[in-house]
Amino acid sequence: MNTFQLNCFLAVCDSLNFARAAEKLGITQPAVTHQIHTLEDELDVKLFNRSTRSVQLTPAGILFLNDAREILEISMRAKRRFHNPDIQHIEKFVLGAQNSFYLTPFCQVFRSMHEKYPFLHPRFDLGLISYLYRMLDEESLDGIIGFQEPFSQKVAFSFREFGKVPMFCVCPSSHPFALRKSIRIQDTAGEKLILTEMPRLPSSITEFQRVLLEGRDVSDICLSASHETSLFLTESGFGISFLPAISIPSHPGLAFVPIEDWKKLSFGIYYKNAPRSSPLSHFIQLARKELNLPHTAHS
């Protein structure tokens, strides 16, 4: 395995097209195909499913994607080290999340982190929770930002709560709900709902969406890939959506109304190790202070 093979693999992943990957790399398409075949032979797995019309990553290809990026990053870092002595001081800090929306409240936290750790290089990895747990267990992540799983689901990591957050209903500013201080779940009967695809959600929000789905016809539901696309569809008039209130965006076209009859969710971070003097430990302290969310008494 070499870096050229990995660059070919990542180029194909970016475009899911061998011809475009070859153009990006400045080589011929047969050369890209040969490098991918050689890599697959060395790994003894198939990385792509190919047909005359499409190219898709296999499950093995998805698993290998992060490894390929890590290997190339290590290789490039090693090369740069000899050109810039300061590179030796770089301190990696990698956090995972199921949705980029969960990272939105942390700007001030990272501003403070940058002041304390001038050589800190944050990176964020988004993915399904099973993938993130695996990366945390392998110590490729420092922590996972998100919501605490129910106690019935055993998670082999520590969890530190940043605070409790309610669920909000999001509706156009012209909607009758926009004039109310709060609503109940039963008030949403008869409304078109925009829901985030459940594999991309933590269990606590999946449970909330299941309650909303009870007695609903499939024609009443519009699915979106993320909280951000849910907001877009809501403003476009396709229905009302729902959002955990970790960070309420400033949006003149939308209203954000609390759901009064649903429990607040525990928002925080899963981690494996947090030495006292580490960036992770400092991040947790800052987050609990800066986010200013109500905490569980024992957290």
**How far apart (Å, rounded) are the C-alpha atoms in residues 274 and 279?**
8
- Whether residue 119 is found in the same domain as residue 152: yes
Residue 298, domain member (yes or no)? no
- The predicted model scores a pTM of 0.67
Asked whether the predicted pLDDT for residue 299 surpasses 60, the reply is no
Q: Model confidence over 251-283: pLDDT tens digits? A: 889 999 999 999 999 999 999 987 777 899 999
Number of structural domains in the chain: 3
- Whether residue 13 is found in the same domain as residue 61: yes
Most confident of 62-66, 178-182, 244-248: 178-182
Q: Model confidence over 20-31: pLDDT tens digits? A: 999 998 999 999
Residue 250, domain member (yes or no)? yes
Last residue of one domain, picked from the residues 56, 81, 106: 81
- Whether residue 45 is found in the same domain as residue 128: no
CATH code, domain with 111 = 3.40.190.10
Q: Model confidence over 189-235: pLDDT tens digits? A: 989 999 988 777 888 888 999 999 988 898 999 999 888 899 999 99
**How far apart (Å, rounded) are the C-alpha atoms in residues 241 and 232?**
10
What are the start-end ranges of the H helices in 82-185?
107-116, 129-137
CATH code, domain with 21 = 1.10.10.10
Residue 108, domain member (yes or no)? yes
Give the orientation angle of helix 3-15 with respect to helix 29-43, to 10 degrees: 110
Q: Model confidence over 82-117: pLDDT tens digits? A: 666 555 577 899 999 988 889 989 999 999 999 999
**How far apart (Å, rounded) are the C-alpha atoms in residues 187 and 166?**
17
**How far apart (Å, rounded) are the C-alpha atoms in residues 85 and 95?**
26
- Whether residue 57 is found in the same domain as residue 201: no
Residue 296, domain member (yes or no)? no
Q: Which domain holds residue 9?
A: 3-81
> Going edge to edge, which strands form the sheet with 143-147?
120-126, 91-97, 143-147, 265-271, 158-165
- Whether residue 186 is found in the same domain as residue 117: no
